[in-house]
Amino acid sequence: MPGGPGRVVWLRAAAIAAVTCPWCCEISRAQDVGDAARSAPPSAPSGASQETQEQIPEVVVTGHEDPHGRRLERPPLENGGGRDLIGPREIAESGVISVQELMRRTPGAFVSDESGSDSLANIGLRGVTSAEGVSRSTNVALLVDGIPISPAPYGQPGTALFPFTLERLYAIDIQRGGSSVRYGPNNVAGVVNFLTRPIPTGSMYEFGGRYDSFDNSSIYNALGGTYGDFGLLFEQVYKSGDTFRQNGDYAIENFALKSSYRIRSDLRVLIQAERYSDDSQLSDGLNLAQYQANPDQSTAQQNRFAGEQERISAKLEWDLSDSLRAELITYRYDSERTFFLGSPNFYGTTATFIQATPRPMDVWAVQPQLVKRFTLGDWVADVIGGARYTEEDIVRRTERLFPDGTQTLTGDTEFAYKAASGFVESKFQSERWSVTPGIRFEQIDIEGLNRLAGAAPVDQSFSELLPALNAAYFVTDDMTVYANAQASFKPPEASQIELSTNPQDISAQYAWVYELGARAQTFDDRLAWDLTFYQIDYEDLLERDPAQFDVFVNAGRSRHRGVELALDADLSAVAFEGLGAWVSLAYNDSEYRSGQFAGNQVIAATPWLASWGLRYTHAESGAWAGIDGFYVDEAFTDRANTVPINAAANQGQRPDYTVWNARAGLRHRVSAACELRCELALRNAFDEQYFDIRPGGRGIFPGAPFSVGGQIGLTYSF
């Protein structure tokens, strides 16, 4: 298949970090994307390297090196859907303090900062939201190294516990469409895979430190290497801070151990273990008068969040022949998170009691699969098929903690999710075409029991057949057009199943997603662009009933359609050496299509989103400087599309805003074995005052004002 002069890079994660299907793209083991680049042989299809047999079926990152050492990471041209990649250099020089801030760089991504730290990420794509907006990322599939990051992927898919930290992030792979067969449920809006550092090929120690004017600080340490057939990487993160608001203190710890062992030439095992803990005070929302008086204040002095997760995952790879590989993937994790909220009104400074909502969750899964490559005339086909079985145990308790030390249990329900799925996907490639048909079957059984009230138990089953087809055609050697259609669904969450006298319509949410686009890498790879048109037809949209606490109603159908544009350019040839720029622009029209509010805009769906950046790098000295920014359009906070913001700030149209950032830094190689890095960053450089309104009565959440921060880093190879 045609391809430009850029090199194809396979990032092979030396740990389970990289799971192929359905949860992940395969990652290669490399210390650095550029250092590990190898060119594909002329006769191989694009995306295939000399290590094809190990890395079927998919490339994660395509790395391009220009004469000035600037690396542009871009999705493969033959990818059949809207996709974006944020690479190691861009992440390292971003100046952000949380993972979700980086998501603003991809078209169609909207984030809402709730905590001022990495805690409680709120990420949405393509206007697919709920009655709570993008609250806790419940409408997008989030993965870390291919493993679901949510505490329970079927029953608790949101990130009320977000067990990941920015310091461990190596790259982000955002697939906005064409991924239902690979990734299972809850991917209507797309799939975001956060990739961690690969195990280094040689012995390495890395240190990183950050601090800013809000007293946010973090320490990162990593130590590892590859020794013969054995590879190991240990990572440690500790971060804490005050944030810019009162009652915003937090402390987060994250540990990870990744290992790989090649038992023999055709057999290897990958294991990864992680531990995460989060103890955060919660500033929470403000009403309109409170925000106007002092946006930095908090009236929720008793509110706090505590969560932790322990997880382990393993993968066995067995090359049965030159063209056939067997894999066995398994993972298990235990999570618990609790919100402590001042009650009865949740936001008082003199609460009558503290309401605690502990949520212990236990998940395990096993997935065997086969990957086969074969040829059919001029076509090369990679076929992957497998099955997965998952069990989730979710307990939802509600406790009242009184000042005298007594407590009362007011809610106690338990849910058991059992999901069995099978999938087959084939990628057929010729000189000009890449066609990928696939189908996935899901069978989900849900049992729920109210152990306190004695209400009738719930016993529901859902079966879904999810077909998908995507195709890409090379118009020229450096430009493709692509299209796809796919079915996707989201089973009812545990929070959406009321085990009392309130009637509930707990239909599975179902959607068809369509995309049409074009992608190119032109002018000797100095300009890359991606243009995507999409439409999502959503059925049985479940939203929280504003009149009843913790009760959901079926809002019927919604439609989400729009266009996304991404540009990435090396401007050395038209301006001066070392100058580069990127732009992302997205328009979205999301509206209800049935019921009382048909024709109104979907809650929190933002019509226009834009982001941009300009970066200069001086190759000889390693010095660099850049500016970037983002624009977020207006959005409604209720289905009635109320415009004025009411006194409680739980209804009204949130205004638009624009934020600019600036940063500069230096990467200096002290010796062949040691590199030093430093950075100075100005966030919200013009001190733009902006906010988000969280639906569901939580009020106004102010955006971060101007701050200045710095970081230092060291990498030593030995």
pLDDT in tens, 655-676: 999 999 999 999 999 999 999 9
Name which of 180-189, 314-323, 486-495 the model is least confident about.
180-189
Q: Is the pLDDT of residue 18 over 70?
A: no
Neighbours of 209 (CB within 10 A): 15
Q: Is residue 698 one of the residues assigned to a domain? A: yes
pLDDT computed for residue 165 by the predictor: 96
Q: Annotate 463-510 with DSSP letters as a single string.
A: EEEEEEEEEEEEEETTEEEEEEEEEEEEPPPGGG---SSS----PPEE
Percent of the chain with pLDDT over 90: 67
Q: Is residue 414 one of the residues assigned to a domain? A: yes
pLDDT computed for residue 344 by the predictor: 67
| 589-629 pLDDT per residue, tens | 999 999 889 999 999 999 999 999 999 999 999 999 999 99
Q: Is the pLDDT of residue 484 over 60?
A: yes
| 490-522 pLDDT per residue, tens | 888 888 886 665 656 667 888 999 999 999 999
Q: What is the mean pLDDT of residues 451-475?
A: 88
Q: Is residue 28 one of the residues assigned to a domain? A: no
Q: Is residue 97 one of the residues assigned to a domain? A: no
Exposed, middle or buried by CB within 10 Å (0-12, 13-18, 19+), for 463? Answer: exposed
CATH number for 217: 2.40.170.20
What are residue 532's phi and psi, to 5 degrees? Answer: -130, 130
Under the banding of pLDDT at 50, 70 and 90, the label for residue 632 is: very high
Under the banding of pLDDT at 50, 70 and 90, the label for residue 54 is: very low
pLDDT computed for residue 183 by the predictor: 80
pLDDT computed for residue 232 by the predictor: 96
- Looking at residue 89, the DSSP 8-state letter turns out to be H
Q: Is residue 173 one of the residues assigned to a domain? A: no
Highest mean pLDDT among 60-64, 324-328, 493-497 belongs to 324-328
Ramachandran category for residue 447: left, alpha or beta (phi over 0 → left; psi -120 to 50 → alpha): beta
Distances (CA, A) of 547 to 478, 507, 550, 551: 55, 20, 10, 9
Average pLDDT of every residue of the chain: 86
Q: What is the mean pLDDT of residues 27-38?
A: 30
- Between CA 325 and CA 307 the distance in angstroms is 38
- Compare 179 and 394 and report the one with higher pLDDT: 394
pLDDT computed for residue 16 by the predictor: 28
- Say if pTM beats, i.e. exceeds, 0.85: yes
Number of domains observed in the structure of the chain: 1
Tokens 């990162």 -> residue: 220
Q: Are the CB atoms for 433 and 470 separated by under 8 Å? A: no
- Compare 31 and 607 and report the one with higher pLDDT: 607
pLDDT computed for residue 345 by the predictor: 61
Q: Is residue 327 one of the residues assigned to a domain? A: yes
Domain interval for residue 355: 194-717
pLDDT computed for residue 490 by the predictor: 87
In DSSP terms, which residues pair with 254 in a beta bridge? 237, 276
Q: Is the pLDDT of residue 390 over 60?
A: yes
pLDDT computed for residue 627 by the predictor: 97
- Compare 57 and 590 and report the one with higher pLDDT: 590
| 695-708 pLDDT per residue, tens | 766 899 999 999 99
Q: Is residue 340 one of the residues assigned to a domain? A: yes
Q: Is residue 424 one of the residues assigned to a domain? A: yes
Q: Is the pLDDT of residue 38 over 80?
A: no
| 232-270 pLDDT per residue, tens | 999 999 999 999 999 999 999 999 999 999 999 999 999
